[in-house]
Amino acid sequence: MNAQSPEWHFVKKRTADPADGAVYVNGDRTRYRRTGGEALAAEAAYQRQLAALGYPVPHILEGGTTDDGHVFVVEESLGEHSLHDMALESLDGTRALSDTVVDLAAEVGSRLLRAQAAHVVPADLLMLREWVREAGWTDNVLAENPDLDTPRVRAALGRAVAQLAGVPMVPGHLDYGLPNVLPVGVIDWQHHGLVPLGYDTALALEIVPFKGGTKGYLASPEQRRRYLEALDETARATTGQRLSQHLAAFLLVKALFFLALMKPIDPTRTDKHLKWHYRRHLFTEVLEQYERTGAVDTARFPTLDDFAARHGAPGRP
Ligand SMILES: Nc1ncnc2c1ncn2[C@@H]1O[C@H](COP(=O)(O)OP(=O)(O)O)[C@@H](O)[C@H]1O
Ligand SMILES: [Mg+2]
């Protein structure tokens, strides 16, 4: 098939891709094609390795360079609906997440966790620190928010790293969440890297409130507990360790990830300023809870609307 084949339909521009990549789907929706730069070539190589290791990921069918010098990769479709799509489609007028979606999330999460647990790399502190840097986008976050570059923040990150010493590292996704999870596997391995076992899967429902809680679905405490219990069971059967005990350390890094690339360049975009300040607030909230109790409850986050109401005009810090 020609790389410029007219049968590819544009799906979306790729998020956070410096090469301005995009995603396309073919006419019968059985294949997806991505374009990009060197990062896409690395992503595809990683995904091929994961497929060979038995990870539930799309098989890569084709790859190469287009006539105008872009990298392209074609992979099989894992289906029409992500768990995020299914969660939205099954909303019944309330914000309640469907139990079916929670069960599916637990099932796919357990499958990924099992594949990861079968390929552990013994961890050392340097690898964990590298994970904090990569997964938390800390260079970007601290450059955009220099006031967070403090001994206090570094101490909390150091505490998280110390707490995770002894947790095995595994090939990870870094952007794991319901939009990238389909009933048969996990797509979008753009931000891959070694992660402490559990980092990807444990947070799938915990990260939902970071979106602001003003639209879509929310998982109940009972659903979050049930999801984590299923993963803990899988983790116990493989490595003997529960992963829910590290939820707060994982969330500290994830709260940084959600703050990355948020600072708007355009001062007139008050909506974007509000979202940036909201994510700054959520990071601070996670930090405070972690410092105070060693645990983090994401159900205590304010919604974006609550936050906006409390902080007056949007965009004013
Ligand atoms: N192999 C695939 N199977 C099913 N859907 C896919 C596949 N690859 C991409 N998609 C669809 O295309 C969308 C965008 O692809 P993705 O790589 O997740 O882009 P982004 O990096 O912008 O999140 C996905 O959310 C999904 O709906
Ligand atoms: Mg995606």
Q: pLDDT tens digits, residue range 263-285? A: 999 888 999 999 999 999 999 99
Residue the block writes with tokens 């309330």: 94
Name the burial class of residue 122, with classes exposed (0-12), middle (13-18) and buried (19+) by CB atoms within 10 angstroms of its CB.
exposed
Q: Which atom from ligand 1 is nearest to the alpha carbon of 58?
A: 1
In Å, how far are 85, 256, 259, 268 from 284, measured between CA atoms? Answer: 30, 10, 11, 25
CA of 90 to the centre of ligand 2 (A): 20
Domains in the chain: boundaries: 9-76, 83-310
Contact 34, 73 (CB under 8 A): yes
Ion ligand 2 nearby residues (CB, 5 A): 180, 188
In Å, how far are 118, 135, 219, 297 from 286, measured between CA atoms? Answer: 31, 16, 18, 8
CA 106 to chain centre: 16
Q: pLDDT tens digits, residue range 101-136? A: 999 999 999 999 999 999 999 889 999 999 999 999
Choosing among 3.30.70, 1.10.287, 3.90.1200, 1.10.1760, the CATH entry for 83-310 is: 3.90.1200
Q: Which residues line the pocket of ligand 1, CB cutoff 6 A?
A: 11-12, 14-15, 23, 32, 58, 75, 77-79, 82, 179-180, 182, 187-188, 190
Dihedral sign of CA atoms 285, 291, 293, 294 in order? positive
CA of 291 to the centre of ligand 2 (A): 32
Q: pLDDT band at 316, cuts 50/70/90? A: very low
Q: Which atom from ligand 1 is nearest to the alpha carbon of 188?
A: 17
Q: pLDDT tens digits, residue range 209-259? A: 999 988 899 999 999 999 999 999 999 998 888 999 999 999 999 999 999
Per CATH, the homologous superfamily of domain 9-76 is Phosphorylase Kinase; domain 1 (3.30.200.20)
Probe target for ligand 1 pocket from 8, 10, 11, 71, with the most ligand atoms within 8 Å of CB:
11
Average of per-residue pLDDT across 292-300:
95
CA of 312 to the centre of ligand 1 (A): 37
CA of 181 to the centre of ligand 1 (A): 9
CA of 188 to the centre of ligand 2 (A): 5
What pLDDT does residue 308 have? 94
Q: Whose CA is nearest to atom 6 of ligand 1?
A: 77
Q: pLDDT tens digits, residue range 64-96? A: 999 888 999 999 999 999 999 999 999 999 999
Q: Whose CA is nearest to atom 27 of ligand 1?
A: 82
Share of the chain above pLDDT 90, in %: 87
CA of 221 to the centre of ligand 1 (A): 29
Instruction: Give the separation between CA 117 and CA 271, rounded to whole angstroms.
Output: 41
Instruction: Give the separation between CA 299 and CA 303, rounded to whole angstroms.
Output: 10
Probe target for ligand 1 pocket from 32, 186, 261, with the most ligand atoms within 8 Å of CB:
32
